[in-house]
Each structure stands twice: as C-alpha cells, then as structure tokens.
Structure 1
Amino acid sequence: MPINADYRGPGDLPEVIPVFPLPGALLLPRGQMPLNIFEPRYLAMIDDALRDGHRLIGMIQPDASHSGGDSKPKLFEVGCVGRITQFAETGDGRYLLELTGVSRFKVVEELTVKTPYRQCRVDFFAFVDDFEARKGEDDVDRDALLEALRGFLKANHLKVDWDGIENAPNEALVNALAMMSPYGSAEKQALLEAPDLKTRAEILVAVTEMELAKKRTSGDPPLQ
C-alpha cells in the first residue's frame, strides 16, 4: 500500500476493516477528524492498521437505543472509513491521530475476532458517489446554510473566520459544519446517512433552526 493512497472506487478498499465505536463522532469523506487514542484495545487497533499498511479505521456510532446495557453495544448500520494521515506519539502511551475520511460504508456483518477491537465486513458500493470530490455542490443552498450559521453564532456569542468560510467550497463547508455541529447521536447519524450533499445541508439547516427556535421560546441554555 503506497504512503499516499488514491482511492478511486469501492473496489480499492478492503472488505473487512477495524471499527472504532464512538458516540457523537461524525467523519465524512475528505473531512479531517483528530483523535486522542489511549485505550489499550484502540492502541492495538492503530498498531495493526499501521503494521498492515492500509492505515484505515472505520468510525461508527454505537446505537444507544439498542444497547441494552451490553458491554458490546449494537452499532449503527452506516459509518465512514478514514485513513490515518497524521500520527504522533505523545511519550505517555497515547497516540494523536488525524483521520481523513474516504467513504461511508454499510455494515454487512460484525466478525468474531481474536483482536481486542471490533472488526466488520462492510460494503462501500452503496456510497460510490463519495469517491467523487465536490459532487452535488451546485445544488446546495449556500445562503440558507450561512444564515443558519449566523444565527447559531449569534445565539452562542461565537466568532469565526468569515474569510475562510466565504472561500470554502460547498462540500468542505457543509461537511465541516456537520462534523463540528454540537448535536446528538441521532442528528449526527442523519447527517452521515444523507443521500447527497444538498440533503445534508438541508438537515443541518433544519436542525439548527429547530434548536434556535427552541432556545428562543423556552429559554434553554445555548447549544453545546
């Protein structure tokens, strides 16, 4: 596997990947996710991913509605695989990583394995459009997205680099805002499973507007 991998389609990815169940974590294609790894089972997962050369980790949320208190909670059916594109050792037993999203996947089955971390057989073919950068950008209502962002920032007394936002392509803007959004697991999963960029932007706007309306009418504390 080359150091700089170029994934042109689902066939370029393995059928079996290690998965990292993490509530509230949303990785999207070409998005960047920092991770602080300290649990022994996930340190082993990173060691194996680096040793095997594929450097791929499947990010997926545990489905709390079906956990039943199990030590091995049920997973949502859809996650996103990312490639380790930055790696550092901290000297105190932790790894600091950055994953770059490659493609979403559907879980076909979870495998019975001897590794301390979970592994799944997955299918990428349902998300073939993920391999085409900036697909569907022209369909995004950018004005509505920015208006929702302004409302969110004002309600929470936050500031952003507007020059950077204005210069960001629609795909990067939608996916970055979705990944950074403060919403719960259900909302994050809806954003992940959106069939296209336009729908993801619409979900993000709708959820933001609902939360802002709730805050205005009920006096709820700011989103966090």
Structure 2
Amino acid sequence: MASFSSIAVRELPLFPLPEVVLFPGRPLPLHIFEFRYRIMINTILNADRRFGVLMFDPNQGQVATVGCCAEILQYQRLPDDRIKMLTLGTLRFRVLETVREKPYLVGLVEWIEDEPTQQDLRPMATEVERLLRHVVHLSGKLMEQNVELPDDIPSLPTELSYWVASNLYGVATEQQTLLEMQNTVARLEREVEILTSTRNHLAARTALKDALD
C-alpha cells in the first residue's frame, strides 16, 4: 500500500522501549537511567527536545520501523544524573535508515500522516465512543467499582482513534498495528472490532457473576 507522508525528512534520536507504543497527543512519563540515554536526553535538552519512541518487541527481538516523536514537556534531574521527565507524543514517523548506533541510536526518518478522506467519520467515532462507554461500565460492574471515562476524551475522529489505541493495555503488537495504519477509517473499524469483542466478553462474565451472586 502506498504511504501518505510529507516530504520532510530529518535525523532523529531514537529510543526503543519494550512493548511501549506512543501515540500523537498522548503523554509518556519516563525515567532515564541508562548512560547512553542520559547522553541522548542531555543532548536533546540543548536542542529541540524531541526524540523518537519505537516499540521493541522482546519476543521477536525486533525494533519497529514506525514510531511516534516525543517532545519533552517537563524534566527533573535526580541523583546519579538520572532524569525523570514527562513527554508528549506529536508526529508519527517511519525510519528510512540508521544513521548511527553509538553512543545512541539515530535514524533518518520521514513524517507520516493519515490519508485524507472525504468520508464523514463522525458516525464511526460515535460508535467507538459508545462501545468504549459500554466496556468501561461493564468493567466497573465486574469489579464492583464506579469507573467513569475522563472528561477530556477527544471529539475529533483521528484524535479519538489515537486515544482509544493508547488505552489498550497488554496488547503492544495490536497497538503497533494501529499506529502504523495511515487510514483513520481502518483504525476506527479495527477499534470497533476490538471493543465489540471486549464488550461481549465482559457482558458474559458479568451475566455469570450475577447468576452466581
């Protein structure tokens, strides 16, 4: 499938993280303690404060080639030169080639975006949010807790698709697939499938729990 990308290409410091997938608009707190990444962060802090986050799959021993650029919003230096910081996902990128590997990984990347569409995505986004609320309600009922969605859920379809994908836990490979999609419709459709399956599973567990109580 042809990719939709900008012509902007740049070198970007890269930070592979085990089973972590960052999405645009989503926060990522980090604790930097490894020497080479302390060097990287100190260099970035004197530049534009941006680096790329790539998912590392420990089972396959592979680093993804599509990731998300993180911008450092806040940081705190700790003893032994460790650094705690809060970052925010901005743009997605694809690694074109490795520029160097030491003292830390740097790649030549291109920014990627979703393909433009004339389709009205609001009905699908509404369905995703409806299913999400069902899942949260059933989860709370199963745990006997009052669980509610936050008030700041994005209303725009593309941003909503990133928000939902970032909140899927324990499925980094699925998250990576959603990150790599360059079609908002396809991403929302896949999230409808995931949320429908999750809702049905939780509904069955809730019904069984009610029957046994």
TM-score, length of structure 2 as denominator length: 0.73
What SS does the aligned partner of 2:170 have? Answer: coil
Match of 1:61 in 2: 55
Q: Give the match for residue 84 of structure 2.
A: 96
Correspondence for 1:39: 34
The higher radius of gyration belongs to 2
* Paired position in structure 2 for 1:187: 174
**How many Å separate the matches in 1 of 2:28 and 2:185?**
22
Quick one: distance in 1 between partners of 2:36 and 2:200?
A: 42
Secondary structure of the residue aligned to 1:62 is: strand
Unmatched tracts of structure 2, length 5 or more = 206-213
- For residue 33 of structure 1, report the CA deviation from its aligned partner: 1.3
| Residue 101 (structure 2) pairs with residue 107 (structure 1) | no
CA contact (8 A) 2:132 2:195 kept: no
**1:31 touches 1:172 (CA, 8 Å); kept in 2?**
no
Corresponding residue for residue 209 of structure 2? none
Question: Alpha-carbon deviation of 1:160?
Answer: 3.9
Task: Give aligned pairs, total.
Answer: 194
Structure 1 gaps, min length 5: 1-8, 68-73, 131-135, 218-224
| Partner of residue 132, structure 2 | 145
| Structure with greater strand percent | 2
Secondary structure of the structure 2 residue equivalent to 1:144:
helix
> Bigger CA drift: 82-91 or 203-212?
203-212
Q: Is the 8 A contact 2:135 2:199 kept in 1?
A: no
Q: State the Cα RMSD in Å.
A: 3.2
Task: Find runs of 4+ consecutive structure 1 residues off by over 6 angstroms.
Answer: none
Supply the AA of the counterpart residue of 2:38: L
Relative to structure 1, the CA distance from residue 163 to residue 76 in structure 2 (aligned partners, 3 Å threshold; closer, same or farther) is: closer
User: Structure 1 179/203 Cα, relative in aligned 2: closer, same or farther at 3 Å?
Assistant: same
CA distance in 2, matches of 1:149, 1:90: 37
What is aligned with 1:123? Answer: 110
**TM-score, normalised with respect to structure 1:** 0.70
